Amino acid sequence: MKILGLDLAGSEKRKTGVALLNENLIAQCLSVFEDKEILDLVEKEKPCLICIDAPLSLPKGRKEINKKSKVHFRACDLELRKRKIKFFPITLGPMRKLTERGLKLKKILEKKYEVIEVYPGASQDILNIKRKGEGENKLKKGLENFGIKIIGKKIDDHQLDAITAAFTGFLYKKKKAIALGEKSEGQIIIPKPPSLIFENCLIDLSKGVFLPRAETMFWIKKALKKCKLKIEIFGSKDSKFLDIFSGSGIIGIYILKNIKKSFVDFVDIDKKAIDQIEINLKLNEISPKRYKVIKSNLFEKIKDKYDFIFANPPYVAKERLKEVQESVKKFEPKISWYGGKEGLFYIKKFLNRAKEFLKDNGLIFLEIDPLQKEKVKELLEKRRYKNYKFYKDQFGKIRWIEIEK
Ligand SMILES: C[S@@+](CC[C@H](N)C(=O)[O-])C[C@H]1O[C@@H](n2cnc3c(N)ncnc32)[C@H](O)[C@@H]1O
C-alpha cells in the first residue's frame, strides 16, 4: 500500500510538498514544481490513494472560481467552521489559483486513481498536533508520536503537511476518518475526531481535553434524578446549574439535554476546554440562551448563585503520580487531572467558596478519589457544611458526595 500526499502550491513556480507513505507508516518526502512532475510521479509510484491539500470542488451554484458569485462556501467548509477549525475560503485571493490547479489535477488523476481532498490544518487540530506555523519541530514530533517514521533529515513544512495529508489518507483507508460535507458537492476527509456518545449527548474531544470517565457518567445520572426530585418538590421552573471544572462540558450538556428549562454556566480555566465546550454546545444544538461559558480560575469570575453545583475537579494526588497511565500523561493535560498534595488542592479551594454561590436549599455534587473520603469529611466539617452524604460508583468505591449548604 502506498499513499501519496500532496501539499499543493497555488502556482507551478512554487514548491509543492510530496509524501509517500507506506503501510508501515514510513514516509518519504520530496518537492516538485510542475503538474507534469506530479503526474509522472503518480504514474511511477501508482499509489492506491492520492490525498490533495487543495480545494477539489466548487460550492453548489458556483460554476467557475473566477466568476463573480454570492456563493463562497461549500457544506464541508461550513462544517469546518462549525468545528472551529480555521481555514481560508476557497474564493479568497490566492486560494482561487490553488482551487483552479486542484480542480485541473483532480480531473486528470481521478480517471485512474482514487483522489480525496484533505486539509492538513484540520487533521493536525483534530489529532492535537501543532500546525506548521507553530514550529516545524513540534509538527514533526507530533507526527512521529503517531508512529510515522520520516526518512531524511531536512524536511520542510510543505513536506510535513504532505505527510499529514497522506496520514489522513491512511486513516481513511483504515476507516478512522470521516467525510465532511455533501458527496454531490465535494467533501473534505478528516480524521475521526475522538468523541463519545453518552446517552443523548455527542461529545467531541478533538481539542485534547480530559476524557470523561465512566465513573463520572455513572454518578451524573444519579445526581440528576436527585435534582429533578428537588425541582419538583420546590416547584422551581428555571433552575440554574453551575458546571465548574467542565472540561469537555459533558456534565452541563447532559443537564441541558435532560432537564427542561435549565440554565448552565460552564467554568474552566483552560482555553482548550472553553473552545471544546463551545463546540459541544453547538454539536448538541443547545440554544445560546440557556448557557454561559466562562473562562475563570475557580469562582473568580462568578457572580451568580445556583440551585445546583456540579464539580469534578482535578484530584490525582502527587503521592500517586506513579500509578497514572502513560496515555493519560501523554494525551490529557496535566491541569485537568493533577490535584497536588493528597490530590486536595482544588477540592479545598472549591469547598472554601462553593457555599457562597449556592442558593438556600441548593445542592452541591462533588467527585473525589475514594482514598480522599476521610480528609474531605474533615474539610466539610471544618467549613461547616450542614449535611453531606458519600456515595459509591459502579465499582463499589466511594466516588461522589451530595452536599447541602
Ligand atoms: C477532571 S477534569 C473534569 C472535566 C469534566 N467535568 C468531566 O467530568 O469529564 C477537570 C477540569 O478542571 C479544569 N481546571 C483545572 N484547574 C482549574 C481552575 N483553577 N479553575 C477552573 N477550572 C480548572 C481543567 O482544565 C479540566 O478541564
Which residue has the CA at smallest separation from atom 24 of ligand 1?
336
For residue 228, how many C-alpha atoms fall within 13 Å in the half-sphere facing its CB?
Answer: 12
Residue (of 392, 385, 303) closest to 351 by Cα position:
385
Question: How is residue 134 written as a grid cell?
Answer: 507553530
Q: Which atom of ligand 1 is nearest to the CA of 298?
A: 20
As a whole number, mean pLDDT of residues 305-325 equals 96
Cα of 210 to ligand 1 centre, how many Å?
Answer: 8
20 pLDDT higher than 90: yes
Q: What percent of the chain has pLDDT over 70?
A: 100
Nearest Cα to Cα of residue 49 among 159, 160, 157, 172:
172
Closest C-alpha residue for ligand 1 atom 14 = 245
Tens digits of residue pLDDT in 190-237: 999 888 999 999 999 988 899 999 999 999 999 999 999 999 988 877
Q: Is 134 helix (H, G, I), strand (E, B) or coil?
A: helix
Span from the CA of 312 to the centroid of ligand 1 (angstroms): 7
* pLDDT tens string 334-365: 999 999 999 999 999 999 999 999 999 999 99
Cβ-proximal residues to 1 (8 Å cutoff; 6+ apart), any chain: 22, 23, 48, 173
CB of 336 shorter than 6 A to ligand 1: yes
All 3 cell numbers of residue 338?
493533577
With a CB cutoff of 8 Å and minimum separation 6, the contacts of 137 are: none
Atom of ligand 1 nearest to the CA of 310: 6
Alpha-carbon gap, residue 23 to 318, rounded angstroms = 41
DSSP letter string over 292-322?
EEEE-STTTT----EEEEEE----B-GGGGG
Cα of 132 from ligand 1 centre, angstroms: 29
Q: Which of 18, 56, 22, 9 lies closest to 40, judged by CA? A: 18
Of ligand 1's listed atoms, the one at least distance from the Cα of 251 is 6
Report CA dihedral (218, 265, 342, 326) to the nearest 10 degrees.
70
Ligand 1 pocket, residue 268 CB under 6 Å: yes
For residues 340 and 251, the answer to whether their CB atoms sit within 8 Å is no
Q: Is 297's C-beta closer than 6 angstroms to any atom of ligand 1?
A: yes
pLDDT in the model for residue 94: 86
Give distance in angstroms: CA of 299 to centre of ligand 1: 12
Q: Is 280 in the pocket of ligand 1 (CB under 6 A)?
A: no
Buried b (16+ CB within 10 A) or exposed e, 328-337: eeebbbeebb
CA nearest 351: which of 295, 305, 397, 309? 309
User: What totals of helices (H) and strands (E) does the chain contain, helices first?
Assistant: 12, 17
- Burial zone of 279 (CB within 10 Å; 0-12 exposed, 13-18 middle, 19+ buried): buried
pLDDT at 384: 95
Query: What's the grid cell of residue 55?
Result: 480545494
**pLDDT tens for each residue of 119-161:** 999 999 988 888 987 776 889 999 998 999 999 888 999 999 9
What pTM, to 2 d.p., does this model score?
0.77
Task: Ligand 1 pocket test: pick from 204, 241, 268 the residue with the most ligand atoms within 8 Å of its Cβ.
Answer: 268
Q: Region 274-284: what's the mean pLDDT?
A: 94
C-alpha dist (Å) from residue 336 to 198, 211, 389:
20, 9, 25
Q: Specify the 3-state DSSP secondary structure of 211.
A: coil
Q: What is the Å distance from ligand 1's center to 347 Cα?
A: 11
Q: What is the pLDDT of residues 370-405, one digit of tens each?
A: 999 999 999 999 999 989 999 999 999 999 999 998
* The ligand 1 atom nearest the CA atom of 273: 27
